């Protein structure tokens, strides 16, 4: 039996899979088992930022796997130390906790916030998050997520989350009380439809948290690591958080997550308060080291910023050409959304038939998150295909 038949027979049915079996990737290109070639404008949903099968990542992983694959976090390893140094020296943070995924990183941030409330705010325990946000699928992070479709069927949820409209500072103020210990927010809403917040929103949240002694926590699982044309998306808005979570692109496709915090927040965790078995294993950290070196010293963030401007301008040209279908182009860098006045699904399928992999967000938005190595030629090809697909409507 082929892979699709085996998966459908033996794997739990939690994904609506497209009828394609991918067998190879290189840069922005993917090939399926039938030999068909695709240009990847989703990167595993903002994961493979350096592109598929990046030679430096492959070399680092193979070399590390031949030396040491795993020891527990009761001991030190050199790859973990180097990645921690790169993250801290290039961010607001003083300390980092490593884990395996975005959900695990956000779960760690939520636990950190609860300890902060208990130790610094007389037992405060409420965490404010945003409507249409997405923070993961563990029971804690789906409770934090502001989408009914993610939470459906899992009642009772973890209590003491308050959800308010994204981008509305007054709505946060309206629900604030003495039990609030933290605000968790995406600097740019990803799964929620690729939404950039209004000016002053994130700085306003920081001021509000500071005035009450609460933590401001940025979920940069999707937006971090060069995706928006800055190393971290919050740099666009001139504001720093107390806590930040990362994952997705951290190890270019290998499972890695991280919670970064300033020194006061980081001190909430001590030996035995939080842990992970596989987090920051040597092989994964070897890959993450290559990712961060390329972002910090390799010019990849600057490339993402420049190509992001070009890409957005091309999409805005299509929006002007098809005003009855395209309602808005939004996003930053290489996290862009094309908002439609119709369901995005049929266009996603049509583009796939034309050799382009894109995604949908919030049903009516096409989400673009290509590898950061994407070229203007790749973008021109996608825009031409999208032009044809829109003309067919």
Name the CA radius of gyration of the chain, rounded: 21
Annotated active-site residue 219? The verdict is: yes
> Are the C-beta atoms of 217 and 185 separated by less than 8 Å?
yes
**Cα 206 from Cα 198, distance rounded (Å):** 14
Annotated active-site residue 248? The verdict is: yes
CA 100 to chain CA mean position, Å: 13
Annotated active-site residue 378? The verdict is: no
Helix axis angle, 300-321 to 282-297, nearest 10°: 70
**Cα 127 from Cα 277, distance rounded (Å):** 27
Count of other CB atoms within 10 angstroms of residue 179: 15
153: exposed, middle or buried (Cβ count in 10 Å: 0-12, 13-18, 19+): exposed
Lateral strand order in the sheet of 359-361? 326-332, 335-340, 365-368, 359-361
Torsion of CA 182, 184, 185, 190, to 10 degrees: 180
**Cα 284 from Cα 65, distance rounded (Å):** 10
DSSP 238-275: T---SEEEE-GGGGBTB--EEEEE-HHHHTT--TTTS-
With a CB cutoff of 8 Å and minimum separation 6, the contacts of 187 are: 197, 202, 218, 220, 223, 228, 232, 233, 234, 236, 237
Q: Computed from CA positions of residues 154, 155, 160, 162, in that sequence, does the dihedral angle turn out positive or negative?
A: positive
Which of 40, 97, 161, 219 is the catalytic position? 219
What residue has token string 């991280």?
Answer: 258
Which of 41, 92, 97, 134 is the catalytic position? 134
**Cα 127 from Cα 303, distance rounded (Å):** 36
**Cα 362 from Cα 81, distance rounded (Å):** 39
Which of 40, 248, 269, 312 is the catalytic position? 248
Catalytic residues: 134, 219, 248
């Amino acid at each position: 039996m082929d892979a699709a038949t085996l998966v459908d027979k033996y794997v739990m049915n939690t994904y609506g899979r497209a009828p394609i079996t991918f067998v190879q990737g290189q840069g922005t290109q993917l090939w399926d088992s039938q030999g068909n070639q695709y240009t990847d404008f989703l990167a595993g949903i903002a994961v493979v930022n350096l592109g598929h099968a990046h030679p430096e990542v492959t070399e680092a992983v193979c070399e590390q796997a031949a030396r040491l694959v795993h020891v527990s976090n009761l001991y030190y390893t050199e790859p973990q130390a180097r990645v921690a140094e790169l993250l801290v020296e290039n961010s607001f943070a003083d300390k980092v906790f490593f884990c395996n995924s975005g959900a695990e990183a956000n779960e760690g941030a939520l636990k950190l916030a609860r300890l902060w409330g208990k130790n610094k705010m007389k037992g405060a325990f409420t965490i404010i998050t945003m409507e249409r946000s997405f923070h993961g699928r563990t029971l804690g992070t789906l409770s934090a997520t502001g989408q009914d479709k993610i939470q459906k069927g899992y009642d009772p949820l973890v209590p003491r989350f308050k959800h308010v409209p994204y981008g509305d500072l007054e709505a946060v103020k309206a629900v604030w009380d003495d039990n609030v210990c933290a605000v968790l927010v995406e600097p740019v809403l990803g799964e929620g439809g690729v939404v950039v917040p209004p000016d002053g929103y994130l700085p306003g949240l920081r001021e509000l948290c500071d005035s009450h002694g609460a933590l401001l926590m940025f979920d940069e699982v999707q937006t971090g690591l060069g995706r928006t044309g800055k190393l971290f998306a919050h740099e666009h808005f001139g504001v720093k958080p107390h806590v930040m979570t990362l994952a997705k692109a951290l190890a270019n496709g290998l499972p890695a997550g991280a919670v970064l915090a300033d020194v006061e927040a980081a001190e909430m965790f001590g030996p035995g308060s939080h842990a992970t078995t596989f987090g920051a294993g040597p092989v994964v950290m070897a890959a993450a080291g290559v990712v961060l070196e390329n972002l910090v010293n390799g010019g990849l963030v600057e490339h993402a910023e420049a190509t992001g401007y070009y890409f957005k301008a091309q999409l805005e040209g299509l929006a002007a050409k098809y005003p009855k279908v395209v309602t808005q182009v939004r996003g930053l860098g290489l996290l862009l959304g094309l908002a439609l006045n119709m369901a995005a699904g049929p266009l996603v399928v049509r583009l796939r038939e034309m050799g382009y992999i894109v995604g949908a967000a919030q049903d009516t938005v096409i989400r673009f998150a290509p590898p950061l190595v994407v070229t203007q030629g790749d973008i021109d090809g996608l825009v031409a295909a999208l032009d044809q697909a829109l003309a067919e409507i």
